[in-house]
Structure 1
């Protein structure tokens, strides 16, 4: 029988996937920034900042989507 209410596990699974992906990016962030820094320190700073901000942007966009959906 189908559950009339949306599953409560879906947001938790989505958040877990986002956190694992962000954790992998943050784990490799120093290596990525150092590699790019060999070419341009300014570009390395920009890439590092963008990767860190992307972590928060994903949750901000998800919250906007949930509010718009009425969830």
Structure 2
């Protein structure tokens, strides 16, 4: 069996860190939303939407960066 390359290992570590950080944010999101809803319900909605979109944006940007580094046309 061949050993995984360094780039595969670093990609897996980066993905694990991103998922772990996102998991922490989503774990605490209900309490954040309850606290923010005392100020404004719309503010809590906006923060929740921001974090959900940021989750997908991070992976989209990472994919674009990796594609650019490998010189593969989009």
Misfit runs of 4+, over 4 Å:
none
Instruction: State TM-score, norm by structure 2.
Output: 0.84
Structure 2: 5+ residue runs without aligned partners? Answer: none
Instruction: State TM-score, norm by structure 1.
Output: 0.87
RMSD: 1.3
Higher relative contact order structure (alpha carbons within 8 Å, sequence separation ≥ 6): 1
**Cα deviations across residues 37-67 of structure 1 (Å, max 9, x unaligned)?**
0000011110111011111111001001001
Structure 1: 5+ residue runs without aligned partners? Answer: 1-5
